[in-house]
């Protein structure tokens, strides 16, 4: 008896994994902006905190075989943000997601990348271990405090740079930016400063800092010439703005004409906003990797600006989904 030939039906053919984007609570405006750029809806999920402080995460739509991206930045309350992300990764894997990428615009624990005093944890590596243990297949992040933190992960990491966004911003603010000087606040930021100076075709200077104790640093000298020049200060982040105040003061003492500041992560903790409000600078800009509430923007005396990196994240997500190069986005 012959078996009748049946052509394959669409339902039996393998389908490409659908692109699904979800977000934790830490930076939903950025997640929404990324989705708007991608032209996909932000996935529906719910996070509830019980009275005993435990979190529960619930996806309100199917993730089966999906190419899932979960956007969660590590901003205050950081421990809740990390826990929520781990629960979301774990729940996505349990719900049969095909692949899970943790999109972490600001990986705050990157600052803890070495054993610089006895009996401490290298928390940047520990958090990487936890995310992988939860089931993250890939990581997408931006401007790690030190690029080698990338190596704490065994899964693939796409490490985006905000250099293009920062330098385009300076060019918009100061059309003759090439006559200015990019100032690195310390030796650790000289490579970033040099890349931005190349994009602006401007000069380059750096501050030599003296470490007084584990928690105290003092600027020793400014290497380079800023006299009568527009100075562009760049850094990975502003937290308390202590480093920024020192950097601006020394630039002014050395005769800087105008000072513009642009960093990737505007964390603005403790006295930061008050310090920026009283700072002798034209503007302090940071990217929306961390959500800056309106109250902080108002408190900074009109000096704060927010730069949008959602298009960059959206392009990276699109390229990861389609298997195209992500490094091409940096040029």
In whole angstroms, the minimum distance from the beta carbon of 138 to ligand R5P comes to 26
Question: Closer CB to ligand R5P, residue 30 or residue 241?
Answer: 241
Sign of CA dihedral 264, 72, 295, 246: negative
Please select the residue that binds ligand R5P; options are 88, 238, 279, 316, rule is CB under 6 A. Answer: 238
- Got the DSSP string for 235-248? EEEESSSHHHHHHH
Nearer to ligand R5P, 22 or 268 (CB): 268
Per-residue x/- marks for ligand R5P, 181-200, CB under 6 A? ----xx-xx-----------
CB of 76 to ligand R5P, least distance (A): 14
CA-based nearest residue to 142, from 187, 110, 188: 110
Bridge-based pairing state of the strands 217-223 and 230-238? unpaired
Question: E-assigned strands of 106-229?
Answer: 138-142, 157-160, 181-184, 203-211, 217-223
CB 210 to ligand R5P: min, Å: 14
Q: Which of 18, 98, 224, 242 binds ligand R5P (CB under 6 A)?
A: 242
> Does 240 engage in binding with ligand R5P (CB under 6 A)?
yes
Among 30, 97, 235, 286, binds ligand R5P (CB under 6 A): 235
Q: Indicate the residue among 286 and 315 with the shorter CB distance to ligand R5P.
A: 286
Which part of the chain contacts ligand R5P (CB under 6 A), choosing from 26-34, 65-73, 101-109, 235-243? 235-243
- The C-alpha atoms of residue 223 and residue 209 are separated, in whole angstroms, by 11
- Confirm or reject binding of residue 75 to ligand R5P (CB under 6 A): no
Binding part of the chain for ligand R5P, among 28-36, 65-73, 229-237, 313-321 by CB under 6 A, reads: 229-237
Catalytic entry in 209, 227, 257, 296 = 209
Decide: is 163 part of the binding site for ligand R5P (CB under 6 A): no
- Told to judge if 227 belongs to the known catalytic residues of this protein, a careful annotator would answer no
| Dihedral sign from CA coordinates of 110, 75, 316, 177 | negative
Whole-angstrom distance, CA of residue 205 vs CA of residue 199: 15
CB neighbourhood size of 186 (10 A): 18
Q: How far is the CB of 263 from ligand R5P (least distance, A)?
A: 8
Q: Which long-range contacts (CB under 8 A, 24 or more apart) does 317-321 make?
A: 317/19, 317/21, 317/34, 317/38, 317/69, 317/101, 317/103, 317/140, 318/19, 318/38, 320/69, 320/101, 320/138, 320/140, 320/158, 321/19, 321/67
243 binds ligand R5P (CB under 6 A): yes
* Cβ–Cβ under 8 Å, residues 267 and 237: yes
In eight-state DSSP terms, residue 77 is: S
Kindly tell me which of 248 and 254 has the beta carbon lying closer to ligand R5P. 248
Taking the complex as a whole, the smallest distance from the CB of residue 189 to ligand R5P amounts, in Å, to 6
Catalytic residues: 209
- Tell me which residues touch ligand R5P (CB under 6 A): 185-186, 188-189, 235-244
């Amino acid at each position: 008896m012959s078996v009748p030939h049946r052509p394959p039906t669409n339902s039996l053919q393998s389908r490409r994994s659908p692109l699904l984007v979800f977000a934790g609570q830490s930076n939903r405006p950025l997640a929404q902006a990324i989705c708007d750029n991608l032209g996909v809806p932000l996935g529906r999920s719910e996070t509830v905190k019980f009275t005993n402080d435990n979190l529960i995460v619930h996806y309100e739509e199917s993730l089966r075989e999906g190419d899932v991206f979960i956007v969660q930045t590590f901003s205050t309350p950081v421990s809740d943000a990390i826990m929520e992300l781990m629960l979301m990764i774990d729940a996505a894997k349990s719900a049969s997601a095909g692949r899970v990428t943790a999109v972490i615009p600001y990986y705050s624990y990157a600052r803890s990348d070495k054993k610089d005093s006895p009996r401490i944890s290298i928390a940047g590596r520990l958090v990487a271990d936890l995310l992988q243990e939860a089931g993250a297949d890939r990581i997408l992040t931006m401007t790690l405090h030190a690029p080698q933190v990338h190596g704490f992960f065994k899964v693939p990491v796409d490490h985006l740079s905000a250099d293009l966004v920062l330098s385009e911003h300076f060019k918009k603010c100061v059309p003759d930016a090439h006559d200015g000087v990019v100032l690195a606040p310390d030796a650790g930021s000289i490579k970033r400063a040099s890349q931005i100076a190349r994009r602006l075709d401007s000069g380059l200077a750096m501050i030599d800092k003296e470490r007084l104790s584990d928690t105290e640093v003092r600027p020793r000298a400014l290497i380079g010439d800023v006299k009568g020049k527009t100075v562009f200060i760049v850094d990975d982040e502003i937290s308390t703005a202590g480093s920024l105040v020192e950097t601006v003061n020394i630039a002014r003492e050395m005769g800087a004409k105008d000072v513009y500041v642009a960093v990737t992560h505007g964390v603005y903790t403790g006295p930061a906003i008050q310090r920026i409000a009283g700072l002798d600078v034209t503007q302090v800009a940071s990217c929306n990797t961390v959500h800056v509430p309106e109250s902080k923007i108002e408190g900074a005396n009109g000096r704060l600006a927010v730069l949008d990196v959602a298009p960059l994240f959206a392009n990276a997500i699109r390229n990861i989904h389609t298997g195209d190069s992500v490094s091409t986005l940096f040029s």
